[in-house]
A and B are shown apart, each in its own frame.
Chain A
Amino acid sequence: DVKVTQSSRYLVKRTGEKVFLECVQDMDHENMFWYRQDPGLGLRLIYFSYDVKMKEKGDIPEGYSVSREKKERFSLILESASTNQTSMYLCASSLGMGSTQETQYFGPGTRLLVL
């Protein structure tokens, strides 16, 4: 059974703070993703990674960066949090092997509030 965990379920931060969201998967998946989920907008891809130290921008990378130093861990970083980054953040992983056409397994989500 694939398990994807996220470091926090709820976070409250102040504008300008640096925020780290951590995601860990335990199934040796190659692909990892960060999405944000907002009402009426669905799941929007921020960044994804298909290998250690590799990253690709998604649809809305502005204001975010990522880090993948180990295969099982993918971190999302908000360098200077702003109120418009208040959202639900979902991490996901998929097997990889050069294919996009695979099930994505999601973490439980982190609800971030930026004051």
Chain B
Amino acid sequence: GENVEQHPSTLSVQEGDSAVIKCTYSDSASNYFPWYKQELGKRPQLIIDIRSNVGEKKDQRIAVTLNKTAKHFSLHITETQPEDSAVYFCAAPLYNNNDMRFGAGTRLTVKP
């Protein structure tokens, strides 16, 4: 079955710096990769996703890159702000099943 590995488990950056979180997956048939942000005490919410027909997608300060050959995808946050502090989860689907596998999460702390 699908195995999703996420690194690092914790990340601390200075406000204004960039943050990068990386995930690897095992099912080569996977072709949809979402990222969720979970603020303290709140539910996970989708922030960006990418489908396998593109290598990169950007939305303001957030970007996701996908390397299908190497089976990894990364979340990039530029010009980080304190409100970016949260736990971020990547996910990848089991191609033939109706479910998603999540990474273990990365706790990002942005220090002002």
Residues of A that sit less than 8 Å from B by CB: 4, 31, 33, 35, 40-45, 48, 50, 56, 58, 90, 100-104, 106-109
- Chain B residues bordering chain A, tally (CB within 8 A): 26
Q: Are B95 and A103 interface neighbours, CB within 8 A? A: no
Residue of B nearest to A39 (CB): B105
Q: Kindly list chain A residues whose C-beta atoms are within 8 Å of the C-beta of B105.
A: 40, 42-43
The number of inter-chain residue pairs (CB within 8 angstroms) is: 59
A27 nearest CB across to chain B (Å) = 14
Hey, what's the 0/1 contact readout for B23-61 against A, CB within 8 Å counting as 1? 000000001101010000011111001010000000000
6 example contacts (A-B, Cβ-Cβ < 8 A) are as follows A4-B43, A48-B99, A100-B32, A101-B32, A103-B46, A106-B43
Q: Kindly list chain A residues whose C-beta atoms are within 8 Å of the C-beta of B104.
A: 40-42
Q: Are B46 and A56 interface neighbours, CB within 8 A? A: no
Q: Are B98 and A31 interface neighbours, CB within 8 A? A: yes
C-alpha gap A90/B51 in the complex (Å): 25
Residue of B nearest to A51 (CB): B98
Q: Are B42 and A108 interface neighbours, CB within 8 A? A: yes
Q: Kindly list chain A residues whose C-beta atoms are within 8 Å of the C-beta of B31.
A: 101
Residues of B that sit less than 8 Å from A by CB: 6, 9, 31-32, 34, 36, 42-46, 49, 51, 89, 93-95, 97-105
B48 nearest CB across to chain A (Å) = 11
Residue of B nearest to A50 (CB): B98
Q: Kindly list chain A residues whose C-beta atoms are within 8 Å of the C-beta of B45.
A: 106
Residue of B nearest to A42 (CB): B104
Q: Are B99 and A58 interface neighbours, CB within 8 A? A: yes
Residue of A nearest to B42 (CB): A108
